[in-house]
Structure 1
């Protein structure tokens, strides 16, 4: 079986083609990499720039030709932070599909899961705690592993290019630039700590993936594992030179020379935050995780066909949903919330589908009893035959349905939620928060809130409602039931009509 995986990252696009035997052995047939920097400037413009847009499609066209030449049975292409966030991402995805490479945009949590999968097949995990760190162009994924088991995972919407765009350092950078960057990173990591369990294993080793950490390992320790002190010394060299000197004197890749000094401080800050263990770079990443995911499911691309999944959800809803008009309207409002919040929540195409399915099914528990119908709904979803869904996806859907009302999910109080993998807990929190808000906006089941849009600042999430008639009760319900959204986003909620 021949499998091709394409990782459309915010800095680089990677392709690998492998031939796999029934026992899971792999022979690499082709590798290709193109550093196109899709995320460059996105933090300020909100879009993939025209030069990167063209370069990205040219790279994908070349890779599609290579893949066709190997006649691969399974072809997967996954897009990460740049395609989660850019306003013109859909245009890029459509043009890539015309080239023969349909791209599935994945969430930060899914990135972390697939990277963990790649690392777990590359080396045996030691018994002592380790942390996995992947620094991309638009996001950074961290996973804590203890005794081979995942303890926690988080995706931060900050990668090398996004930090560099936000920091806007001079060339060469100044001491004031460094203070500004450090302050910004402290704020990012302080917020990130709120989203993690109160007790985390302190890692004895960091396993790093990604080109940024490979370049830092090469510069700090000749390509070997490096310590905090070695990275600090190399960071000092990067900050004392301009981009041209970094290329000529330090041997930095020309395409990373403008930003690697920012990456060094980001990696240094993460190492300090994790307790300052040494970091070892591994030459694997998202694309290898995609290959292993396909092999785990018999060579199937990820995820299975959406129409099959949709049909199984509709079949269940047709039997058990007492008010399909309400559920369908909630699904519409939830999708509008999802679209506006996607850059902040770092979610992807699969999570958008999960939200739509959970919204469609959120009230099926009413077929059992109105009291506790969210708990009945969880049971019905978990025990329904849903063709097209993998078991872990059914568990996620059941938990989103469970927490569309009532107390928010908590790993210490809710057994079903605690049983999820850490990256799926993060997804359930986000999707449940969105669904709770959407349900509140149709609490009287009148479909009076026709549409919504979002205005987002550093301190406020303002939901603007397009309504027919009085929606004061719906607005008040959103501020109450949508409180989880404000908590996750660390923003105050406001509602405006018109």
Structure 2
């Protein structure tokens, strides 16, 4: 069986083709990499630039030829931060589809899960706590592992290119540039701490899995890793040089020479934040995780066909949903909120589907009882026959239905929520927060809200409604039910009618 995995990252696009035998053994047939920097400038323009857009398609064109040449039975392609956030990402995905590459945009949590999968098959985890670190162009994934089990995971919407675009350092950079970058990073990590459990195992080792960390490791003695002290010394060299000097004197890749000094400070800040354990680089990443994921499901690209999944949901809703007009309105509004919040929440195509399915089913608990209908809904989803879904997906959707009202999910108080893997808990919190808001916007079940728009700044989330007639009850309900949303975004919520 031949499997091709394409990782459409914010800096680079990677391809790996493997031959897998029935026992799970793998022989690598081809590897290709193209650094196209899809995320360059996205932080300011909100779009993939025209040069990067075309370079990305050119790279995929070449990779398509390789895939066809090896006659691969399974082809998987995942897009990460740049395609989660860019306004013209759907256009890029559409053009890639024409080339024969169907890209699934994945969330930061899913990215972390697949990277963990790749690492867990590459090395045996030590008994001591370790943290996986992957610094991409648009995001950074961290996963805490103790005795081989995942304790926590987080995706930060900041990677090398996005930080470099936001910092806009001079060439060569100045002491003021460094001070401002450090200040920005402190704010990022302070906010990140709020999304993590209060008690985390302090890692004795960091395992790095990205090109940025590989380039930084080349500046160490053995080229395989570094301590915080070694990285600090190398960062100083990078900051004392301009881009050309980094190439000529330090041997930095020309395509990373303009930004690697920023990456060094980001990596150093993460090491300090995690207690300054040493870092070891591993030559695996998302694409290897995709291969193992396919092998776990018999070599099939996942998820299963969307039509089959929708039919399962509609069949259950047709039997149990007492007010399909309301549910479909909530699906529509939840999708609008999802798309507006996607850059902040680092969510992907699969999470968008899960949200739509949970929104469609969120009120089926009324078929048993109005009181605690959210809890009854959880039970019904969990115990329904839903062809096309993996069991872990059903568990997640049941939890989103459970927490569309009532107290927000908390791992100490809610056993079923606690049983979810750490990356799934984050997804449930985000999707439940969106579903609560969408449900509130149809409080009277009159479909009064025709449309909505969202503006986000550093301090607030402003939701503007296009409504027919009096929308005060919906606005008041949204204010009441948006507490979880405000907590996750660390912003106050404002809602008005336009």
Instruction: State the TM-score, normalized to the length of structure 2.
Output: 1.00
Q: For residues 467-486 of structure 1, what are the structure 2 equivalents within 5 Å?
A: 467-486=467-486
The Cα shift of 1:40 comes to 0.3
Correspondence for 1:40? 40
Correspondence for 1:290? 290
Alignment partners' CA distance in 2, 1:303 and 1:114? 14
Correspondence for 2:4? 4
The runs of 5 or more residues in structure 2 that have no matched partner are none
Whether contact under 8 Å (2:109, 2:424) holds in the other structure is yes
Correspondence for 1:178? 178
Whether contact under 8 Å (2:214, 2:224) holds in the other structure is no
Correspondence for 2:228? 228
Residues 1:98 and 2:106 are matched in the alignment:
no
- Give the match's secondary structure for 2:225: coil
- Give the match's secondary structure for 1:169: coil
Q: Aligned Cα RMSD in Å?
A: 0.5
Whether contact under 8 Å (1:116, 1:143) holds in the other structure is yes
Correspondence for 2:119? 119
Alignment partners' CA distance in 1, 2:368 and 2:121? 45
- Give the match's secondary structure for 2:78: strand
Correspondence for 2:448? 448
Correspondence for 2:241? 241
Q: For residues 183-194 of structure 1, what are the structure 2 equivalents within 5 Å?
A: 183-194=183-194
Alignment partners' CA distance in 2, 1:243 and 1:406? 54
The Cα shift of 1:382 comes to 0.4
Alignment partners' CA distance in 2, 1:366 and 1:19? 50
Q: For residues 312-323 of structure 1, what are the structure 2 equivalents within 5 Å?
A: 312-323=312-323
Alignment partners' CA distance in 2, 1:83 and 1:351? 14
Correspondence for 2:496? 496
The Cα shift of 1:222 comes to 3.5
Q: For residues 260-339 of structure 1, what are the structure 2 equivalents within 5 Å?
A: 260-339=260-339
Alignment partners' CA distance in 2, 1:405 and 1:424? 19
The Cα shift of 1:224 comes to 2.1
- Give the match's secondary structure for 1:443: coil
Correspondence for 1:258? 258
- Give the match's secondary structure for 1:3: strand
Alignment partners' CA distance in 2, 1:461 and 1:105? 24
- Give the match's secondary structure for 1:380: helix
Residues 1:377 and 2:384 are matched in the alignment:
no
Correspondence for 2:146? 146
Q: Deviation per CA, 1:53-77, whole angstroms, max 9, x where unpaired?
A: 0000000000011001111111010
The runs of 5 or more residues in structure 1 that have no matched partner are none
Whether contact under 8 Å (1:132, 1:143) holds in the other structure is yes
Whether contact under 8 Å (1:220, 1:233) holds in the other structure is no
The Cα shift of 1:304 comes to 1.2
Alignment partners' CA distance in 2, 1:309 and 1:114? 22
Alignment partners' CA distance in 2, 1:346 and 1:182? 23
Extract structure 1 runs of 4+ deviating beyond 4 A.
none
Count of equivalent residues: 498
The Cα shift of 1:367 comes to 0.4
